[in-house]
Structure 1
Amino acid sequence: MTGQSVITYKERLIKETIVEALEEIREQNPRGRILLVADNYGSHHAKLTQQWADELGIEFLFIPPYSPTLNAIEPLWKDLKREISPKIFDGKDHFREFVTETFLRLSHKLSFAVDWIETFLPNNIQRLQ
């Protein structure tokens, strides 16, 4: 079962804002186990981040370093940037709205996650397609 998606914008990606994002994720998903797939960004490994994750019942699954094919967000960012590049925005709110809508639309493509699914969930790939 998948939970409720959370989209949040932070001015800076530091351990304190990662903790805020974890709290938002737990708030939108108040029950059950949360497994968060993450890259090896330093703030994800920070002691404060890990302590809050433990307290909130959120478990991190870190993908191996230098493995962009296992990081499903990388091809999604590539497509998102392609759609953003020709646009002119009326301001920050218009930009955020466009990014959010485009991200949600693109993130429904299972193809972004195929390598990750085949590596970490080989028994579930048929069920997800």
Structure 2
Amino acid sequence: KEEEIAIGFIDEARPQNTANTVRVWSFERAQSIKNTTKFNTNTIGFYAIKGNSASKFLEDSKAPSIANFLNDIKTSNDTYRAIVAIIDNFSSHKSRLVKQRAKELDIYFVYLPPYSPNLNPIEFIWKSIKRVLSVSFVPNLAEMKSIITESFCRFSECKSYAGYWIEKFILNNKHYKNLCE
């Protein structure tokens, strides 16, 4: 396994307890119970299509926090020779500190074109997590973090979020296909 390369997607999200992504039909007036206290949490994830996924709650999305998360990705994938991370063009992702830490950890970035979240399958995981939060009564930040962590672990096990990406960019490219075998 030491000769293998892990491949995944990195992205941040800021889920909140007040997001409403749920619509329902009701013939009678629906009664809803809502927590009016608002809170959110800065979250980052690595969705692995080969290797092990990882997630973490960050203080902020600045370069030192992102660089620190790269250590978590490497720890989760320490048996892999290298890690290829597909990532967007957020300014902290391109900082000197993040690039240096990635180099030290044998993490290689592939940057997505600007304004193309549709090419990053982890976006669908964040969307699914926000959906779970919107139908949950979340009394406090600790409970919210627990729901996010459990949901990320569950959803990141599903490779179907990256199905289109794998088919288009991996299976149709002999070189990349060899990386995933």
Q: TM-score, normalised by structure 1?
A: 0.85
2:70 is equivalent to residue 22 of structure 1: yes
1:59 to 97, 108, 130: 108
1:115 is matched with 164
What 5-or-longer segments of structure 1 have no aligned partner? none
More helix by share: 1
Residue 99 of structure 1: how far off its partner (Å)? 0.9
SS of 2:54's equivalent?
Answer: coil
Q: Is the 8 A contact 1:69 1:115 kept in 2?
A: no
What 5-or-longer segments of structure 2 have no aligned partner? 5-49
1:73 is matched with 122
More strand by share: 2
Q: TM-score, normalised by structure 2?
A: 0.62
Name the structure, 1 or 2, with higher relative contact order (CA <8 Å, separation 6+). Answer: 2
- Alignment length (residue pairs): 126
Alignment identity in percent? 36
Note the aligned Cα RMSD (angstroms): 2.0
Distance 1:44 1:116 in 2: 21
1:87 to 136, 146, 164: 136
Q: Is the 8 A contact 1:18 1:43 kept in 2?
A: yes
